[in-house]
Structure formats: structure tokens, C-alpha cells
Amino acid sequence: MRGPSRRIAQAAVTLVGAAVLVWSLQLLAPGDPARRVLVANGVGNPTPTQVAALRAELGLDEPAPVRLGRWLLAAATGDLGRSWRSGAPVAAELADRLPATLRLAAVALALALIAQHRRADLAARGLVFLGAAVPSFVVGTLLLEVVVVRLGIGRVLADGSWGGAVLPAVPLALAAAAVWARVLRAAMLEVRARRHVQVARARGAGRLRVLLVHVLPGASPPLFTAIGMTVGSLLAGAAVVETIFTWPGVGPYLVEAIVARDVPVVQGTVLLGVLAHVVANTLADLAAAAVDPGRAR
């Protein structure tokens, strides 16, 4: 296999391997999962009979390879199991919250593109790179305290709307824009030093033609790769920012599940994040190969 087929196959293998790893991590968790579920549901001191009954109900008394195989087959059909806390299907819970997370990610990407492509002044560029140096949750906390609480702009309790997504998207966009700027600048400097660019200039090609025809196509593949990684990170790693702004997305759902040790929810949410990361990077890699066919070999 070559080109796109090979990349898609690699993505599939990566996703399966990540799914196995995500599921296997529960085996390293201390304590009995059935006992933790009973305690989380208000049973202060579960009896051995209660623990054994719940283990049988959850299928925890079966061998690990059997449980893993059943979980992988179910996940392949979109069945991520049921929450140990609420008993609701994890896939349905994620489907209810995913639109808000996608909306936040889309606004963050739009802001990052604006910051990346506009001719910003030195102060604006400094703000972008400062945002990259400071963790997103710190920037988010400062925005919430200064802009929302003190200046009265925006809402303390986010409503999940497009307008409400602007403020929580800022810390995510700052980090993304700074990464893209560094990658694109380094790639453009490297391409400009290549011989064919120097020859084009010597033959009288204008600056715009050199940029559009000779520099940007060669500098685009690293940028596409960075964008792909950023998209995956936005979908999979915005949990803290969403929690700070009480954004009704996947992030707070994951944080609550971690606190309650709700294993099916944690597994399903992490697997969703892995899927987003793998798909985004695969699409970015395919786009980079289309721009620079030499990458497909």
C-alpha cells in the first residue's frame, strides 16, 4: 500500500492500539471497581454479597481478554457501554455534549486563523506568544476574573451558544495561533533558502509570485501537520477550559466521571478524543501529501 491507503491503514492500527491501551488502564486502577461504584451510589460499606452481585452485573467477573474483546466489538458499533453512576448510555451522553465542544473548537480555530493570517502589530503578536507560554487554564481563569466578573462582559455560566463561545475560545486560540506561527515561519525561512526559489528570484519573479507559487506550497505541509495536531488537541484537551467556563461540553462530563471513577465514561470520552486526534492528523497528512506529493513516498 502506498499513499492515502497506507495512511488510512496506519490510522486504523493506531486507533485500535489506542483503544486497547485505554481499556487496559482500568486494570491498573487500585481497588475493586464494583465496590467503588457502590460507594459512589451511596452504599457506605458494601457487603461481599453486594460487591459480587454488581461484579456479575457489570461483567467484571469474566476474564480480561473476554471483556476487552466484547468492549472493542461494541465500541466499533458506537456502543461505549453505560455509565456506572447514572446507567445512561455513554454514547448518548457524549452525543448530547459533543455539539457544544465542537462549537467551542470551531470558534477557537477561527480566532487562531485570524491571528495567524492578519498583519498584526508587535503587541498583538506578543499577546499571542504570551498566550502560548502561559497554560490555557491560567489564561482562562484570568479572562473569567477580569472580563466577566470585573468588567461584566459575558456570562459566568456559559450557555453553549456561538456568541458565548468567544471568550472561552480565546485561551485555546492563543496557543494554537502561536504554534502555527512558529511552524509556518520556520518552514518559510527554510523554503526561501532553497535553490529553486533563488533561481525564480534571479529570473525576475515578483515577491507575490515567489510567495504563492514557490514558498507557500513548500511550507504548507508542516503547517497542515501542526493544524491537524491542534484540531485533535482542541477536541480532546479542552476539558479544563470548558470546566473553568462551565461550558456544557464533553470536558466537564469527563472531569465529573474521573472524580466519581466512572470507568465507562472515562474510557468512552478518552476514546472519542483519540479518534478526533487520529482523524484530524490523518486528514492533515493527506492534505500535506496532496500539496507536496513527495511526502507520499
pLDDT in tens, the chain (297 residues): 456 788 888 888 999 999 999 898 888 777 777 887 787 777 778 888 888 888 888 788 888 899 899 999 999 999 998 888 888 899 999 999 989 988 888 888 888 777 665 455 555 556 556 666 777 777 777 888 788 777 777 776 677 788 788 888 888 888 787 778 778 778 887 887 778 777 777 777 777 777 767 777 777 788 888 888 777 777 666 778 888 888 888 888 888 888 877 889 999 998 988 888 888 888 888 887 777 655 544
Q: Using only C-alpha atoms, what is the Rg of the chain?
A: 23
Whole-number pLDDT of residue 260: 79
Distances (CA, A) of 175 to 63, 94, 288: 44, 26, 22
Candidates 187, 177, 169, 179; CA nearest to 120 is 177
- The one-letter code for the residue type at 155 is R
Q: 89 pairs with which residues across the strands?
A: 82
* Prediction pTM value: 0.77
Distance CA 24, CA 228 (A): 27
Distance CA 124, CA 241 (A): 22
What angle (nearest 5°) sits at the alpha carbon of residue 157, between those of residues 153 and 161? 80
Residue 259 CA from chain centroid, whole number: 20
> Could you tell me if 116 and 177 are in contact, meaning their C-beta atoms sit under 8 angstroms apart?
yes
Got the DSSP string for 28-68?
GSSS-HHHHHHHHTT-SS--HHHHHHHHHHHTTTS-HHHHH
Rounded-to-10 torsion of CA 66, 67, 72, 73: 70
Question: How is residue 120 written as a grid cell?
Answer: 498584526
Environment class of 93 (CB within 10 Å of its CB; exposed 0-12, middle 13-18, buried 19+): buried
Candidates 281, 284, 111, 116; CA nearest to 184 is 116
- The one-letter code for the residue type at 89 is P
Distance CA 115, CA 84 (A): 43
Coil vs helix vs strand at 235: helix
* Residue showing cell 472493542: 72
Distance CA 266, CA 63 (A): 21
* Residue showing cell 465529573: 256
Q: For the chain, which domains are there?
A: 92-296 (1.10.3720.10)
Cβ contacts of residue 266 below 8 Å, gap of 6+? 254, 257, 258
